[in-house]
Amino acid sequence: MPLKSFFFSAFLVLCLSKFTQGVGTTEKEESLSPLELNILQNKFASYYANDTITVKGITIGGWLVTEPYITPSLYRNATSLAKQQNSSSNISIVDEFTLCKTLGYNTSLTLLDNHFKTWITEDDFEQIKTNGFNLVRIPIGYWAWKQNTDKNLYIDNITFNDPYVSDGLQLKYLNNALEWAQKYELNVWLDLHGAPGSQNGFDNSGERILYGDLGWLRLNNTKELTLAIWRDMFQTFLNKGDKSPVVGIQIVNEPLGGKIDVSDITEMYYEAFDLFKKNQNSSDNTTFVIHDGFQGIGHWNLELNPTYQNVSHHYFNLTGANYSSQDILVDHHHYEVFTDAQLAETQFARIENIINYGDSIHKELSFHPAVVGEWSGAITDCATWLNGVGVGARYDGSYYNTTLFTTNDKPVGTCISQNSLADWTQDYRDRVRQFIEAQLAIYSSKTTGWIFWNWKTEDAVEWDYLKLKEANLFPSPFDNYTYFKADGSIEEKFSSSLSAQAFPRTTSSVLSSTTTSRKSKNAAISNKLTTSQLLPIKNMSLTWKASVCALAITIAALCASL
Ligand SMILES: *[C@@H]1O[C@H](CO)[C@@H](O)[C@H](O)[C@H]1NC(C)=O
Ligand SMILES: *[C@@H]1O[C@H](CO)[C@@H](O)[C@H](O)[C@H]1NC(C)=O
Ligand SMILES: *[C@@H]1O[C@H](CO)[C@@H](O)[C@H](O)[C@H]1NC(C)=O
Ligand SMILES: *[C@@H]1O[C@H](CO)[C@@H](O)[C@H](O)[C@H]1NC(C)=O
Ligand SMILES: *[C@@H]1O[C@H](CO)[C@@H](O)[C@H](O)[C@H]1NC(C)=O
Ligand SMILES: *[C@@H]1O[C@H](CO)[C@@H](O)[C@H](O)[C@H]1NC(C)=O
Ligand SMILES: *[C@@H]1O[C@H](CO)[C@@H](O)[C@H](O)[C@H]1NC(C)=O
Ligand SMILES: *[C@@H]1O[C@H](CO)[C@@H](O)[C@H](O)[C@H]1NC(C)=O
Ligand SMILES: *[C@@H]1O[C@H](CO)[C@@H](O)[C@H](O)[C@H]1NC(C)=O
Ligand SMILES: *[C@@H]1O[C@H](CO)[C@@H](O)[C@H](O)[C@H]1NC(C)=O
Ligand SMILES: *[C@@H]1O[C@H](CO)[C@@H](O)[C@H](O)[C@H]1NC(C)=O
Ligand SMILES: *[C@@H]1O[C@H](CO)[C@@H](O)[C@H](O)[C@H]1NC(C)=O
């Protein structure tokens, strides 16, 4: 967290805790005073003023890489098929790897092919367009490049043993998707979501590794195979002219820095970029996308940046590459539900985190463009199997009964969001809508754009654009805010409810960090994107700076008056 933001939030929280001393959580919450209202109005006004957003994206997760919490019925069916095959064996299907391994090739193929065929169709792309999105992020696993399942033979004749079903199946569906995207004038960002051996151990990488070492860059051939796949992606999708919908290639999703040495990840990023530049001709505008690897905001500023060659020389010498740091886009993912501290946050702290997060990213933009490429409406981790098949939620403590992880923190509450929307309380709905509005507003104004996770799910409502929109919890169109006017001021008719939600008079206000959450789920482009269009750097306007100052002064006055 940058110092300014840190002091700013610390200051605010101090102020608030001063407000809130001695007031119990059950006490009736009061509305905001005019002074407090003014604070929020000042704060949000700056976010609505100049919406020059480029990316308004949606991910179609859980399609070509399956995820148990997105389509639980697929995994339940797999388990019952496995029981039919061998009722006496212990069945534990927790990810696509164990699904394929347990069922064997033919049964997995039938099940998965049916899923690919039915879960996403042309109609989804048409709806994505009419809903106002301009970009689709499509996750795909490395195993899409498997060429002979019997021999575990991959592209470039590399052998890598795994049980995955492929033989070109996923690439066939990807091609359909690209045709639909072209038809509906949607831009596409391809995302290598699972790397050989798993780059993060999350089930959404294909292979869940809760406790052990990760295989990526450690097991034989994982590096060679990754490079071969990158080369094929670049040769296939670059230089396709302005008819091709592919505007960005994300080389690998969420490599888990910490479990994998960050210097190894960095070196791979350079090798990928070298390959990319060697395959890209000078008139091609496809953007090279890197995930932040769970490093703090600003970590990648000097990397892949020709102004700081001494930094890149440490890892790799880009031979003769002619590029601008603006050609490399940094993808940040942000959720507020994967630590006990985040889950215990007040609604105010949650929104304040988003504000600080957007401000931090804004400071990166002169180095690299940056999007919040994953975020959701979730304020708890209660969606069934969100943390994995058989794993509970931190929110109600069941996580710690179903894993080897432990905590001293008390459970936050009782899970309700895994239930159907009809069972949600109005209070919970309000919080989800406010959280979504705050993220839309701030990411639209302070970053190169945003990509919501996810287009649809079977029953994980907080992660499901279609269900959220249907329940009127996601603004449609995206700037049709309920809690704010177009100029950022608060709608009077909602101000008291927002104040109750955003400034609950509790003593539990928690200051949490703005760094990327440790763990993902389990985590432009109007017209044709050109590199320069993708990366418009918005200058932080004087007006904005002035409003922050005004805000700080107001807060100082507020504190002084207490
Ligand atoms: C928004 O942009 C317009 C035109 O570029 C400018 O006049 C105005 O000051 C900006 N407002 C803010 C709040 O940045
Ligand atoms: C699961 O099995 C049921 C019953 O056979 C079937 O209706 C459904 O389509 C299957 N779902 C998936 C995702 O395979
Ligand atoms: C069924 O599973 C059991 C236990 O894993 C195993 O011993 C047996 O050989 C399996 N039977 C078949 C037909 O695969
Ligand atoms: C099946 O799982 C149970 C409980 O985990 C265990 O006691 C048993 O030995 C396992 N059986 C086989 C054949 O692996
Ligand atoms: C899988 O299907 C193929 C083609 O239909 C068939 O030749 C093969 O014997 C099947 N394998 C098994 C293990 O059933
Ligand atoms: C892969 O192996 C096949 C058969 O041995 C050979 O014809 C082909 O040229 C090889 N491809 C590459 C990229 O080495
Ligand atoms: C990995 O490669 C090394 C060197 O080629 C070899 O000695 C070793 O047996 C390989 N390990 C595995 C698990 O294949
Ligand atoms: C470079 O790519 C463009 C499309 O981006 C294509 O039209 C052109 O033919 C390519 N030129 C070369 C030399 O490959
Ligand atoms: C790439 O961007 C440049 C500058 O905007 C544009 O002239 C060119 O046509 C674009 N290339 C393609 C293939 O769209
Ligand atoms: C890159 O080049 C510099 C200067 O020529 C050299 O000092 C450095 O060791 C090289 N780095 C790598 C990783 O090869
Ligand atoms: C976790 O296990 C403890 C001890 O068995 C039990 O008291 C508690 O209710 C469990 N919590 C949940 C949420 O299942
Ligand atoms: C904005 O959303 C409201 C529901 O919250 C809806 O009634 C209204 O039609 C929407 N406005 C537009 C312009 O679509």
Q: Largest alpha-carbon pair distance within the chain?
A: 75
Predicted local distance difference test score (pLDDT) of residue 533: 32
- Count of C-beta atoms within a 10 Å radius of residue 295: 19
Token pair for 75? 């995994």
In a domain, 15, yes or no: no
Average pLDDT over residues 131-142: 96
Pocket mutation for ligand 1, best pick of 43, 543, 544, 547 (most atoms within 8 Å of C-beta)? 543
CA distances from 505 to 15, 37, 297, 342 (A): 12, 15, 31, 18
Q: State if residue 264 touches ligand 8 by the CB under 6 angstroms criterion.
A: no
Nearest CA to ligand 9 atom 4: 530
* Percentage, residues of the chain above pLDDT 90: 64
Distance 85 CA to ligand 4 centre (A): 17
DSSP bridge partners of 190? 138, 249
Ligand nearest to the CA of 315: 10
CA dihedral 483, 484, 485, 487 (to 10 degrees): 180
Q: Does 420 lie in the same domain as 282? A: no
Instruction: Note the pLDDT of residue 485.
Output: 58
Ligand 10 pocket, CB under 6 A: 313, 315-317
Contact 391, 397 (CB under 8 A): no
Q: Quick one: residue 459, left, alpha or beta (phi over 0 = left, psi -120 to 50 = alpha)?
A: alpha
If you average pLDDT over residues 190-216, what whole number do you get? 97
Shared domain for 205 and 328, answered yes or no, is yes
Whether 106 lines ligand 5, by a CB cut-off of 6 Å, is: yes
pTM, entire model: 0.83
Burial bucket for residue 125 (CB in 10 Å: 0-12, 13-18, 19+): buried
Residue of minimum CA distance from atom 12 in ligand 6: 156
Average pLDDT in the 427-452 region?
A: 90
Reply yes or no on whether the pLDDT at 413 is more than 60.
yes
CA 439 to ligand 1 center in whole angstroms? 21
Residue 464 resides in a domain: yes
Same domain for 78 and 99:
yes
Asked whether residue 561 is assigned to any structural domain, the reply reads no
Q: How far is the CA of 192 from the centre of ligand 5 (A)?
A: 30
The residues that are catalytic are: 254, 334
Residue 50 inside a domain? The answer is yes
Stretch 280-299: mean pLDDT: 94
For the chain, state the CA radius of gyration. 23
Confidence check: pLDDT of 354 > 50: yes
Mean pLDDT of 526-546: 26
Q: Is 533 domain-assigned?
A: no
Q: Which residues have a Cβ under 8 Å from the Cβ of 24 and sit 6 or more positions away? A: 506, 507
Q: Are residues 216 and 130 in the same domain?
A: yes
Query: Is the per-residue pLDDT at 43 higher than 60?
Result: no
- CA 93 – CA 457 distance, rounded (Å): 19
Window from 110-124, 229-243, 364-378, 512-526 with minimum mean pLDDT: 512-526
Give the whole-angstrom CA distance, residue 26 versus residue 22. 12
Distance 149 CA to ligand 6 centre (A): 16
- What is the rounded distance in angstroms from the CA atom of residue 331 to the CA atom of residue 361? 10
Indicate whether 212 and 158 sit together in one domain: yes
Task: Measure the CA–CA gap between 291 and 192, rounded to whole angstroms.
Answer: 11
Domain assignment present for 394: yes
Per-residue pLDDT tens over the stretch 495-521:
554 444 444 333 322 223 333 333 333
CATH of the domain at 298: 3.20.20.80
Q: Show Cβ contacts of residue 154 under 8 Å, excluding neighbours closer than 6 positions.
A: 145, 146, 147, 160, 225, 228, 229
Contact 498, 40 (CB under 8 A): yes
Looking at the CA of residue 118, tell me the nearest atom of ligand 2: 13
**In the 8-state DSSP scheme, what is residue 410?**
P
Domain check: are 264 and 411 in the same one?
A: no
Cite the DSSP H helix spans in 87-142. 96-103, 105-119, 122-130
Instruction: Take atom 2 of ligand 3 and give the residue whose Cα is closest.
Output: 89
Burial, 493: exposed, middle or buried (Cβ in 10 Å; 0-12, 13-18, 19+)? exposed
What mean pLDDT, rounded, does the chain reach? 81
Q: What is the pLDDT of residue 243?
A: 84
- Identify the helix (H) or strand (E) that includes residue 523: none
How many residues are there in the chain?
A: 562
Q: How many domains does the chain have?
A: 2
Question: How many alpha carbons lie under 13 Å from residue 63 in its C-beta half-sphere?
Answer: 27
Is the predicted pLDDT of residue 102 greater than 90, yes or no?
yes
Is 487 found in the same domain as 470?
Answer: yes
Same domain, 399 and 313: no
Ligand 2 near 115 CB (within 6 A): yes
Q: Are residues 100 and 37 in the same domain?
A: no
> Are 46 and 125 in the same domain?
no
Identify whether 416 is part of a domain.
yes
Q: In degrees, to the nearest 5, what angle opens at C-alpha 89 toward C-alphas 160 and 71?
A: 65
Ligand 9 center from residue 238 Cα (angstroms): 13
| Full residue range of the structural domain in which residue 90 is found | 60-333
Which amino acid is residue 497, in one-letter code?
S
Q: Are residues 404 and 298 in the same domain?
A: no
Q: Which residues contact 525 (CB under 8 A, 6 or more apart)?
A: 54, 55, 56, 57, 134, 135, 187, 247, 449, 533, 534
Among 398, 402, 403, the mutation site with the greatest number of ligand 11 atoms within 8 A of its Cβ is: 398
Q: What's the DSSP call for residue 204?
A: G
In a domain, 399, yes or no: yes
Average pLDDT over residues 534-550: 27
162 lies in the same domain as 103: yes
pLDDT at residue 187 greater than cutoff 50: yes
Confidence category of residue 35, pLDDT binned at 50, 70, 90 = low
